[in-house]
Chain A
Amino acid sequence: MYTSTGFISWLLRRISGLALVLYLFMHLWVIGAANSGVQVFNDRLNAVQTPLFKLFEVALLAAVVYHALDGIRLLLIHYFDLTEYRKSLFWAVIILSAIITIVGGGAILVIAFTGG
């Protein structure tokens, strides 16, 4: 295996992307309960809004944030010919993702445990 920042970013992007796809279909199923009536919908939704699921949501947030920022990085490189800045952009994405995940994730947890 040949590693470099580019390779790591690609691996993380793949993993996060696939995780998001998995989540997407689960999400569709959860929301899809609306087709079976109000009660079913609210039950299913309550089930996924317990504190445990909130932790899971933070992980999800990390995945989305990283994937999206990395996607932005790629788009920037594509359209503005920034291959020379690939490394600094990679580190920028990592740092930004960490910050957003901590702040955003913290907010989710605070909201979850204080009840908003």
Chain B
Amino acid sequence: MLTFKLQRWSAIALLVFLTIHMIFMHYVPPFHISFDVVQARLSTPTWKIIDILFLFSVLVHAMAGSYQVITDFESAFNYRKALAWASVIIVILAFVYGAKTIWAFQL
């Protein structure tokens, strides 16, 4: 049930963040993205918070989803504990890496 719930909550969060992300990245000028553009945006703390939350929810959603897809197979289902831990670790690693990246734009 936890996976199921995580999947829905993160989906609702994504609805907000992904929409913002898509619109600002692709439909609001400038259309060519470079370091400066990103840095300009990320200099406001609101954007930073939004991006971090976005990153977190998308990772949770992605890994919960992948976990669901994999454990739907009976053979994998029997190893679901291990798979769950693997997903959690991947989420943490990717989150740290992503957060570091967002931080990098402060330079």
Direct contact of A and B (CB under 8 A): yes
Is A42 within 8 A of B22, CB to CB?
Answer: no
Is B94 a contact of A35 with CB atoms below 8 Å?
no
Which bracket fits the contact residues of B? 20 to 34
Q: Secondary structure at chain B's binding surface: helix, strand, loop or mixed?
A: helix
Select which of B12, B27, B69 is within 8 A of A75 by beta carbon: B12
Q: Which residues of B contact A20 (CB under 8 A)?
A: 62
Contact residues in A for B98 (Cβ distance below 8 Å): 28, 31-32
Interface residue ranges of B33-92 to A (CB < 8 Å): 33-35, 38, 58-59, 62, 65-66, 69
Is B24's beta carbon under 8 Å from chain A? no
Chain B positions near chain A (C-beta within 8 angstroms): 8, 11-12, 14-15, 18, 22, 26-27, 29-35, 38, 58-59, 62, 65-66, 69, 94, 97-98, 100-101, 104-105, 107
